[in-house]
Amino acid sequence: MNKKIIMSQERLLHGGDYNPEQWLDSPDILKRDLELFLKAGINTVTMGMFSWALLEPEEGRYQIDWLTEIVDQLYQKGIYTILGTPSGARPQWLAKRYPEVLRVDEKRQRNLFGGRQNHCYTSPVYRQKVRKINVILAKELGSHPGVLLIHLSNEYGGDCHCPLCQEKFRGWLKERYDTIEELNRRWSTTFWGHTYQSFEQIESPSSKGELLLHALNLDWKRFVTAQTVDFAAQEKKAIRDGGCQKPVTTNFMGDYDGLNYRKFKGVIDVASWDSYPEWHRKPVPQTAAETAFQHDFMRSLLKKPFLLMESSPSSTNWQEVSKLRKPGILHAASLQAVAHGSDSVLYFQLRQSRGASEKFHGAVIDHYGGEDTRVFQEVCQVGETLGRLSELAGTVQKPKVALIWDTENRWALFDSQGPRNAGIPYKETAEKMYAGMRRLGLDMDIIDMEDDLENYRIVLIPMLYLFRGGIGDKIREFVKNGGTAVMTFWSGVADDTDRCFLGGVPGKLTDVFGLRRTEIDGLYEGEENAALPVKDNFLSLERRYTCRNLCELVNVSDARVLMTYEKDFYKDLPVVTCNQYGKGKAYYICADMEQQFYNDFLEAVQKNDKIEKPLPDIPDGVEVTTRESEEATYVLIQNFNADSVNLKLPDHGCEVIYGETEGSLKGLSSVIIKI
Ligand code: GAL
Ligand code: ZN
| pLDDT single digits (tens) 543-575 | 999 999 999 999 999 999 999 999 999 999 999
Full domain range(s) for residue 583: 401-608
| The pLDDT of residue 3 | 44
Task: Kindly state whether residues 584 and 654 are assigned to the same domain.
Answer: no
Mean pLDDT, the chain, as a whole number?
A: 96
Q: Are residues 109 and 91 in the same domain?
A: yes
> pTM higher than 0.95 for the full model?
yes
Q: What is the pLDDT of residue 1?
A: 35
Strand ranges in 28-155 using DSSP code E only, listed in sequence order: 44-47, 80-84, 147-151
Mean pLDDT over 171-198 rounds to 98
> Ligand 1 in contact with 225 (CB < 6 A)?
no
CA distance 204 to 220: 7
Residue 544: per-residue pLDDT: 98
**313: region left, alpha or beta (phi > 0 left; psi from -120 to 50 alpha):** alpha
Average pLDDT rounded to a whole number, residues 460-465: 98
Let me know if residue 172 belongs to a domain: no
Name the band, by pLDDT with cuts 50, 70 and 90, for residue 654: confident
Q: How far is the CA of 348 from the centre of ligand 1 (A)?
A: 7
Are residues 358 and 435 both part of a single domain? no
242 part of a folded domain: yes
> Ligand 1: which of 310, 314, 322, 364 to mutate, most ligand atoms within 8 Å of CB?
310
Asked whether 276 lines ligand 1 (CB < 6 A), one says yes
Enumerate the active-site residues. 155, 310
For residue 527, name the pLDDT band (cuts at 50, 70, 90): very high
Q: How far is the CA of 409 from the centre of ligand 1 (A)?
A: 27
Provide the pLDDT for residue 662.
84
What pLDDT, on the 0 to 100 scale, is given for residue 400? Answer: 98
- 102 lies in the same domain as 57: yes
Is 191 part of a structural domain of the chain? no
For residues 627-644, average pLDDT: 96
- 279 Cα: distance to centroid of ligand 1 (angstroms): 17
Query: How confident is the model over 419-436, as a mean pLDDT?
Result: 97
CA distances in angstroms from 476 to 316, 327, 395, 473, listed in the order given: 45, 49, 32, 5
Residues 355 and 462 in one domain: no
Residues 369 and 447 in one domain: no
Crossing angle of helices 426-438 and 595-608, in 10° steps, is: 50
**Closest C-alpha among 382, 305, 310 to residue 340:** 305
Give the number of whichever ligand sits closest to the CA of residue 362: 1
Residue 175, domain member (yes or no): no
pLDDT tops 60 at residue 8: no
CA dihedral of 310, 339, 611, 673, whole degrees rounded to 10: 180
Q: Which atom of ligand 1 is nearest to the CA of 312?
A: 12
Decide whether any atom of ligand 1 lies within 6 Å of the 409 Cβ: no
Question: What confidence category does residue 6 fall into, taking pLDDT thresholds of 50, 70 and 90?
Answer: low
Asked whether residue 128 is assigned to any structural domain, the reply reads yes
Distance from C-alpha of 249 to C-alpha of 380, rounded to nearest angstrom: 26
On whether residue 418 sits in a domain, the answer given is: yes
Other CB atoms closer than 10 Å to residue 486's CB: what's the count?
25
99 and 46 assigned to the same domain: yes
Residues 454, 411 share a domain: yes
CB distance 361 to ligand 1 below 6 Å: yes
Sheet with strand 251-252: strands edge to edge: 251-252, 272-275, 307-311
| Ligand nearest to C-alpha 168 | 2
Rounded average pLDDT over 590-618: 97
Q: Specify the number of domains making up the chain.
A: 3
Q: pLDDT tens digits for 228-253?
A: 999 999 999 999 999 999 999 999 99
Q: How confident is the model at residue 9 (pLDDT cuts 50, 70, 90)?
A: low
Q: Does 2 have pLDDT greater than 70?
A: no
